[in-house]
Amino acid sequence: MPETVENGLQRLILDTARQLLTTTGYAQLSMRNIAKTIGYSATSIYLYFENKDELVHALIDEGVDLLYERLVEANDSCAVPQDRLLAMCRAYVSFGLERPEYYEIMYVLHPEYIKRYPAEKYRKARKNLELIGAAIEGGRVHGPSADMDSFLAANLVWTQLHGVVTLLSSERVDKRIDPDQLIEGAYQHILRSLGIRDLGISDEVVEKRS
């Protein structure tokens, strides 16, 4: 039984896994399901991936790249440095809500269910945060957190966005709350706290009073 493309059952497995993940979700992503859809036995997957974790890690890798692309695109679409952070926040939330299956395996799945993402791959994931950190650094004008190091600030932004994405896509947010309002509120929250100029609304100045 040859494969669809030149030399690559591994590729076929990964493609099928991705397709299964994005269409039916992680809960339905089983070794036997993958095998069934490509007409192989479940154990044949183990010839190309050590275990399910490694297979999922490959998908996480893809997700990290996908997110990275979106963040770079958002970054490049802004001429003014001050707009970059907001654009990247939008890109992050869009990714999280539009690709919930990717987001789940990347940032939601409990370490008990899936082994830690390997350290060397972890670096690439960190690049995403550093991109945000750079946008903060570049857009910083004034504000009370001007002294805070930008990597910490990036993580702070990340936690806020992550909270919005996860609570919204798990449908835990009250139905009376308008998702868009919550999302936009989070952006304002972030920009204001970091002392980056607000959009549309008039600029604000934060002064210290003895």
Give contact residues for its own copies (rule: CB under 8 A): 25-27, 104, 107-108, 110-113, 116, 126, 129, 144-145, 148, 151-153, 155-156, 158-164, 166-167, 170-174, 176-177, 181-182, 185-186, 188-189, 192-193, 198, 201-210
| Residue at 5: amino acid letter | V
Contact between 15 and DNA (CB under 7 A)?
no
- The secondary structure of 71-138, three-state, reads HHHHHHCCCCHHHHHHHHHHHHHHHHHHCHHHHHHHHHCCCCCCCCCCHHHHHHHHHHHHHHHHHHHH
Which does residue 137 touch among DNA, its own copies, none (CB within 5 to 8 A, set by kind)?
A: none
Contact between 31 and DNA (CB under 7 A)?
yes
Which does residue 58 touch among DNA, its own copies, none (CB within 5 to 8 A, set by kind)?
A: none
Calpha distance 29→53 (Å, rounded):
12
Contact status, residue 3 vs residue 38, Cβ threshold 8 Å? no
Nearer to DNA, 52 or 192 (CB): 52
Which does residue 156 touch among its own copies, DNA, none (CB within 5 to 8 A, set by kind)?
A: its own copies
Pick the closest to residue 153 from 129, 185, 186, 182 (CA basis): 129
Which does residue 40 touch among DNA, its own copies, none (CB within 5 to 8 A, set by kind)?
A: DNA
